[in-house]
Amino acid sequence: MARTIETSIDIDAPIPAVWQVLTDFDRFSEWSTFILAVEGDVTPGNTVKVRLNDGGGEVTMKPRILAREAPRQLIWRGMLGGSWIFSGEHRFTLSPLPGGGTRLSHSERFGGLLVPLLWKTLVRRTQPAFLAFNEALRRRCEGDAHQEAPLAVVGAR
């Protein structure tokens, strides 16, 4: 049974500027407390090393890049013991807003036998980590770490 955690945030910056920050992996440690590092060639088909902290401690995964469609979408998929046991498809999608801003849709679709057993923990850890990442990205792109946060959209199903 697949389940998805979905978040989004509106950013007052054009898509190319947001994409630049989102894919400048060498500088993530300057602003992100969730995704700490992404190492490797982020080309579809390649495997990269992602170091993150979802609130439960630091974890390193090795997902495969499924799509990199600059400047709109980046998708990777990680597995634990095969997709039938546990998998996560992590997606960043940028879409235009009226007035030149950008909406970041940030989600992960979890699948496999372990999902029903882990779902409450996944939501408790992942959803706040996504929201914190989204807000940090917004602040980084807008250039002001002291701005009030706009409303974020959150969902888990």
pLDDT in tens, 27-52: 999 999 999 999 999 999 999 999 99
What is the average pLDDT score of the chain?
Answer: 92
Rounded distance, CA 127 to CA 117, Å? Answer: 17
Is the predicted pLDDT of residue 86 greater than 70, yes or no? yes
Which domains, ranges and CATH numbers included, belong to the chain? 3-145 (3.30.530.20)
**Do 35 and 41 contact (CB within 8 A), yes or no?**
no
* DSSP string for the chain: --EEEEEEEEESS-HHHHHHHHT-GGGGGGT-SSEEEEES--STT-B-EEEEE-SS-EEEE-PEEEEEETTTEEEEEEESSSTTT-EEEEEEEEEE-TTS-EEEEEEEEEESTTHHHHHHHHHHHHHHHHHHHHHHHHHHHHT-TTSPPPP-EEEE-
Comparing 13-17, 81-85, 112-116, which segment has the lowest mean pLDDT?
A: 81-85
Q: What is the pLDDT of residue 95?
A: 99
Q: What is the dihedral of CA 40, 81, 59, 28, to 10 degrees?
A: 30
Per the structure block, which two tokens stand in for 68?
């990199």
